[in-house]
Structure 1
Amino acid sequence: MSDENTTPEQEPETAVTPETESAEVDPVEALTEENAELRDKLLRMAAEMENLRKRTEREITDTRAYAIAGFARDMLSATDSLSRALMVLPAEARANADDTTKSLIEGIEMTEREMQRLLAKHGVKPIEAEGQKFDPHKHQAMFEVPDPTRPEGTVVQVVQAGFAIGDRVLRPAMVGVARGGGAAGKAEAPAEGEGGVDKQA
């Protein structure tokens, strides 16, 4: 009897075992998926670290280049004052000045040149303006000059020089801009046989 009781209890167990085995995940496939996930995370982390490195380098470069922007702007005001002092001095007064006055003038000129040299040493460069096409990012238009011989929007006069440090404008150039010249200035008279109607036709 004991044999009859045991047999029915063992039969269900043997019937469930194949189903359990088929439901189990293949360990090789599981490891492959886990490896792919880890590789993806690693690649993402490496990309983030590279972006962070580049951003940090860019910020350091910008800080080095533009840290003196405020000081340089103040220096430009000082050099402008020196330039104006020299400009208002008539040439005759300079020529007839005594030795003390001449020495003073030369000292002002030397100071201005030295300040300009130091600004250039630290990356402060003048903005090209005269003869260039007006650029609102670099130039500030003060007035218009009727000039049919120049293309419309060309800078024809610089009232005050502009300066930039790196790619940033410290101070735009104050300029006068040509008006009335069209896209290419005054058109030249067409040569015979060019433009208009051919008289021999």
Structure 2
Amino acid sequence: MSDEQAPVEEIMIQDGEDAAQEIEALKLEVAALKDQALRYAADVENTKRRAEREMNDARAYAIQKFARDLLGAADNLARATAMSPRDSQDPAVTNYIIGVEMTEKELLAAFERNGLKKIEPAKGEKFDPHLHQAVMEQPSTEVAAGGVIALLQAGYELMGRLVRPAMVAVAAKGSTAPGAAEPPTAAANPYGAAPSDSGGSIDIKS
């Protein structure tokens, strides 16, 4: 190898090392930009979700009072249908009852379409303080303690927010449901005095 070729090879090696370093630096820069882009995309998505949630909350809050005011009308329609004379032979009365029932169904359907859902706990359902309000407490032989005995007034929730709790009667402490296991009786004390065979005392004196 001549003296003139040695510097050329050294220059080529140096250029190759510089190119490799530059490529590595570019890779790191691309990775950093990619990570930054992903972070920006995540921030945009989080901002979008937060805006949607705030918009839904604002909408629910705006119609909550209006929905609460309509509950009285729904309650009155429910009472009217419950107290209607079903056995009436008068066509006018029958048509009136049908009209009231249709009005109630349409109102409840409108509630559902706008996110207002009815809360109607069934008999025996566990009392939920977040959704129910105990108006009275009674002993029961059909429902276990802490369960709902009867629904007195339906409750409502609007898009997950409680508008009015369901008014219920709750089984008092000591109530047991049919088939529930009875508390175990106390076992006999093996160290207790055994009963005597006779009613009198035993004279052990000689």
Name the TM-score, length of structure 2 as normaliser.
Answer: 0.60
The 1:189/1:62 distance shift into structure 2, 3 A limit, reads closer
Match of 1:146 among 133, 139, 155: 139
Structure 1 residue 78 corresponds to structure 2 residue 70: no
Identity %: 44
The 1:48/1:81 distance shift into structure 2, 3 A limit, reads same
RMSD, aligned CA: 4.0
Match of 1:59 among 41, 54, 58: 54
**How far apart are 1:51 and its partner, in Å?**
4.8
Equivalence for 2:130? 137
> What is the distance in 2 between the residues matched to 1:70 and 1:49?
33
Q: Which deviates more, 148-157 or 181-190?
A: 181-190
> What is the distance in 2 between the residues matched to 1:82 and 1:184?
34
Equivalence for 1:180? 173
Q: Number of residue pairs matched?
A: 165
Equivalence for 1:107? 99
Trace 1:16-27 onto structure 2 (pairs within 5 A): none
> What is the distance in 2 between the residues matched to 1:53 and 1:166?
19
**How far apart are 1:186 and its partner, in Å?**
6.8
Consecutive unaligned residues of structure 1, counting only runs of 5 or more, are 1-40
Equivalence for 1:34? none
Structure 2 contact 141–177 (Cα < 8 Å) conserved: no
Trace 1:119-134 onto structure 2 (pairs within 5 A): 119-130=111-122, 131-134=124-127
**How far apart are 1:175 and its partner, in Å?**
0.3
> AA paired with 1:82?
L
Match of 1:169 among 149, 157, 162: 162
Structure 1 contact 66–165 (Cα < 8 Å) conserved: no
Structure 2 contact 142–176 (Cα < 8 Å) conserved: no
Structure with the bigger percentage of helix: 1
Equivalence for 1:18? none
The 1:45/1:148 distance shift into structure 2, 3 A limit, reads same
The 1:143/1:55 distance shift into structure 2, 3 A limit, reads same
> AA paired with 2:104?
E
Equivalence for 2:198? none
Trace 1:40-59 onto structure 2 (pairs within 5 A): 51-59=46-54
Structure 1 contact 149–186 (Cα < 8 Å) conserved: no
> AA paired with 1:70?
K
> AA paired with 1:180?
K
> What is the distance in 2 between the residues matched to 1:184 and 1:100?
45
> AA paired with 1:178?
A
> What is the distance in 2 between the residues matched to 1:188 and 1:46?
57
The 1:52/1:145 distance shift into structure 2, 3 A limit, reads same
Structure 1 contact 152–179 (Cα < 8 Å) conserved: yes
Q: Which deviates more, 124-133 or 167-176?
A: 124-133
Structure 2 contact 140–176 (Cα < 8 Å) conserved: no
The 1:99/1:177 distance shift into structure 2, 3 A limit, reads same
